[in-house]
Amino acid sequence: MARKPSLSWEQQVRLLLREHRRRPVGPAIYRAHGIGHRGAVGPTDLELHHGEIVGFARLRGSGRTELASLVSGVEKPDSGEVLIDGEPARISDPVSGLRHRIAHSSENRREDGINGDLSLRENLVLGLQALRGWAHPLSAAEKIGEVSNGPWLTVDTIVEMIAADRDDDDLDDD
């Protein structure tokens, strides 16, 4: 019996993308048309569906970090239009991104993603407080409840992510 040739990595990715376009995870909740920033990211169209967690994979220097920064509000686009749930949205800073439940996990989480002087719990609470707004502080019960029961990554997962950014010597010091 003749064996079917195996697909290359690129062919497998294209097949998965084609299948996803036929049956997306859920409804489109974020649509960007022509979003860009002069000198960093050319006009780009992007559609994200409910339930997706998106990562950008491209060659170094191709603008993937800049695009993620535009989507999340870390950087302000100078062109294009963004729709969230079909309504025009202005995501001009990370706080407005968080209001729309869009966050950016920097590739350099050690310097840009966490406050190294704070404990893991304090970093989580800091993120929760940013979502709620500084004018409405969380009570101690809310802090504990939201960290343990909220729709967040598990503490083990976060510890693994942080540990991945540290070398073994740093882990021994903690």
Mean pLDDT by 10 residues, the chain (174 residues): 68 73 73 88 85 72 82 87 91 82 70 67 70 59 51 48 46 47
CA–CA dist 45, 148 (Å, integer): 36
SS (H, E, C) 98-148: HHCCCCCCCCCHHHHHCCCCCCHHHHHHHHHHHHHCCCCCCCHHHHHHHHH
Segment holding 81, helix H or strand E: strand 79-84
Q: Are residues 29 and 82 in the same domain?
A: yes
Query: What burial class does residue 32 get, using C-beta atoms within 10 Å of its C-beta: 0-12 exposed, 13-18 middle, 19+ buried?
Result: buried
- Residue 143 maps to a domain: yes
Q: Are residues 17 and 69 in the same domain?
A: yes
Q: Are residues 57 and 73 in the same domain?
A: yes
- Residue 3 maps to a domain: no
- Residue 142 maps to a domain: yes
When divided into structural domains, the chain yields a total of: 2
Q: Are residues 99 and 113 in the same domain?
A: no
Q: Are residues 93 and 28 in the same domain?
A: yes
